[in-house]
Structure 1
Amino acid sequence: MFVLNLTELNRSDICEHFSCPERSVSPAVYILLYMCSAAVVLLTVCGNLLVIISVLHFKQLHTPTNILVLSLAVSDFLIGALVMPPVLISAIESCWIFDTGYCISFLMTSYVLASFSIYNVALIAVDRYLALSNPFLYTNNISRRTMSIVVVFNWFCSLLYNILLCYFNGSFTNSIMCPGECFLLLNEVGAVIDLVVTFIFPCSIIIILYIGVFMIAKKHATAIRELNNHTRPQTQKITSHSMKSERKAAKVLGILVSMFIVCLLPYFIYSLLADVIGMQADTFMKVYIVLCLNSTINPVIYALFYPWFRRCVKLIITVLLITKYSKRTQLINVLS
């Protein structure tokens, strides 16, 4: 979402800041940049598509938590398909080369998808906290249907929030339609509301709950270790594997959330400080690309840490999905 929290610059000042510079790179570098951009988009789209196919196809992955993983993969897929191409092209050209109508649809699409992704990660944090803090209550009350309703509600709220924000901000009458640029200028109230709603509030939830998740996981590990000292070897083996899986799940989700916050911070920091340090179009493009790259990183994290995902990818690539019983394939250990 190309949203500037600039409240002190007038329209002519902003247009002066966002002039369209001439391309200064050689043709070889120019072609290389486009090839690298195409590779990033392809990795984002294909990686998240593999996650989507895996969760939808294999019955062993039809869990409430994976409904949230699926919704995150869908939003990341749409970011890779709809948002990243124009962002990368604009970064290479140092200019918005598309028309005003596409600019407006691009702004709304990127804004809705970014908001949805942020709250989806927050919901994953809530889900993991509830599952660890009260597993019996979680098992009895959280079903796939319940989680599907939560995901649909998240999509609806993200869309409604962004429509209302644009409407009360003056719709797109405050959009910066300088030649070669595509930005949305928020007023003071809109900038503060957007900062709280799309950054401070969800990130606070994520950080607080994951601190709780790791504390609970540590307590469980200690309890299981003490239990092992007073049980038979076979029971020790089972509880040790359970402890290892639990700690690994917390670790992987912690990495996922940490990378998300790392990718999110530069955009919000630069957007907030833009009217103090001076807005540079190239720098703004770079921090926005970092934000989008989180959608590329997520499937890579799954591939590195989840054996079930690597197993799914192998089955998909070898076209084993067409076999009659592939949906019931045991994917090693879903929790490992």
Structure 2
Amino acid sequence: MAISPITIRILLGLLYGCVSVVITCGNLLVIISITYFKQLHTATNSLVLSLAVADLLVGIVICPFSMAQTESSCWYYESLLCKVKISFDIALNNSSILHLCCISVDRYYAVCQPLRYKTKINVDVATIMILVSWSVSIMTGIGVMIAGFQKKKCVGSCPVHIQIISTFVSTASFYFPASVMLSIYLKIFQVAQKQAHSIQNTVSQSTKSGVTVSKMERKATKTLATVMGVFLTCWTPFFLCITFQPVSNYAIPVSVIETFSWLGRSNSMLNPFVYAFFYSWFRSAFRMIISGKIFQGDFANSKLH
């Protein structure tokens, strides 16, 4: 039995609505945790906080716009609504990706140059990273909106229909940051392995020591594989599509690109889990917030475990 288009729209609307809610709630937990608990007031967490703000805006601004597309039968490339939607979409998603890139730089100094970490990554440096990430993202979004769209054509979505812009946006928003992140995390993994082997060679060769080193290596592998795996899985299909779309004479269906764009947005939903749930103090903060304990007294100075 064939499913009617209206039923498909309703199901997609429900799915997108759930994604939007999870993105919003997950990132609100991160924002409240870092803002409320003084133990989490660090340079690294200021980057995580800014990332959560970008991801939160994806959930409350971009997702509703995209949900509206599932109910609309016609969008025009030249329409103001279409331009605004694309501008916000590019700016916020680009900001999220650039923040992930900045966090990878922070992790590089923390693992590879721990003695220089506090001098290289402090509040001022983190603030500069945040300002650069937002500035570049906003300028890119505004640039695309000013450039406009070529065809006054009624479609079920409003994709960027300019070859140069598609290539530029893909490179600036994904390929370059992804290359930087991949290089940095590979370096971090190599250094982590060397540190683990160094500990194994200097500490007594007991069974307990061997188990500890093995756990360190497995944790480093798991963490880095998860970070890069989630990021690449979410965003690679979408950016490959918009890169090859002009070359293929726009043969890729709009529905396919829109599906992959939602897969990319799901990275904003997964970031709180990837960057927060790995750390026990964030899990403790989340439990206190969800249980309402923070409303029962002043727990800002609580020691999170």
State the TM-score bracket (shorter-chain normalisation): 0.7 to 0.9
Task: Work out whether 1:211 is the aligned partner of 2:206.
Answer: no
Q: Deviations over 1:156-190 (max 9, x none)?
A: 122223334554xxx215365525542322243x3
Q: Return the offset for 1:269.
A: 1.2
Larger relative contact order (Cα-Cα within 8 Å, sequence gap ≥ 6): 1
CA 1:99/1:315 → structure 2, altered by over 3 Å: closer, same or farther? Answer: farther
Contact 2:20 2:60 in 1 (8 A): yes
CA 1:94/1:166 → structure 2, altered by over 3 Å: closer, same or farther? Answer: closer
Match 2:48 to one of 69, 74, 80: 69
Measured in 2, the distance between the counterparts of 1:117 and 1:175 equals 29
Measured in 1, the distance between the counterparts of 2:59 and 2:76 equals 19
Counterpart residue number, 1:85: 64
Task: Work out whether 1:44 is the aligned partner of 2:23.
Answer: yes
Match 2:255 to one of 282, 286, 291: 282
Match 1:155 to one of 130, 134, 138: 134
Match 2:172 to one of 194, 197, 216: 197
Counterpart residue number, 1:17: none
* Farther off after superposition, 54-63 or 28-37: 28-37
What is the correspondence of 1:108-123 to structure 2 with a 5 Å cutoff? 108-123=87-102
Q: Return the offset for 1:224.
A: 1.8
Measured in 2, the distance between the counterparts of 1:303 and 1:51 equals 7
Measured in 2, the distance between the counterparts of 1:178 and 1:59 equals 52
Contact 2:58 2:92 in 1 (8 A): yes
Counterpart residue number, 1:226: 201
Counterpart residue number, 1:272: 243
Question: Secondary structure at 1:185's aligned position in 2?
Answer: coil
Root-mean-square deviation (CA), in Å? 3.2
Question: Secondary structure at 2:160's aligned position in 1?
Answer: strand
Contact 1:60 1:328 in 2 (8 A): yes
CA 1:181/1:81 → structure 2, altered by over 3 Å: closer, same or farther? Answer: same
Task: Work out whether 1:312 is the aligned partner of 2:299.
Answer: no
Contact 1:175 1:184 in 2 (8 A): no
Measured in 1, the distance between the counterparts of 2:15 and 2:167 equals 36
Counterpart residue number, 1:257: 228
Q: Deviations over 1:130-155 (max 9, x none)?
A: 11111111123321232123202221
Letter in 2 for 1:25: S
Identical positions, percent: 30
Q: Return the offset for 1:35.
A: 2.6
Counterpart residue number, 1:4: none
Task: Work out whether 1:184 is the aligned partner of 2:160.
Answer: yes
Contact 1:100 1:177 in 2 (8 A): no
Contact 2:241 2:257 in 1 (8 A): yes
TM-score calculated relative to the size of structure 2: 0.85
Measured in 2, the distance between the counterparts of 1:62 and 1:224 equals 31
Contact 2:149 2:160 in 1 (8 A): no
Measured in 1, the distance between the counterparts of 2:36 and 2:218 equals 27
Letter in 2 for 1:273: F
Counterpart residue number, 1:18: none
* Farther off after superposition, 106-115 or 91-100: 91-100
Gaps of 5+ in 2: none
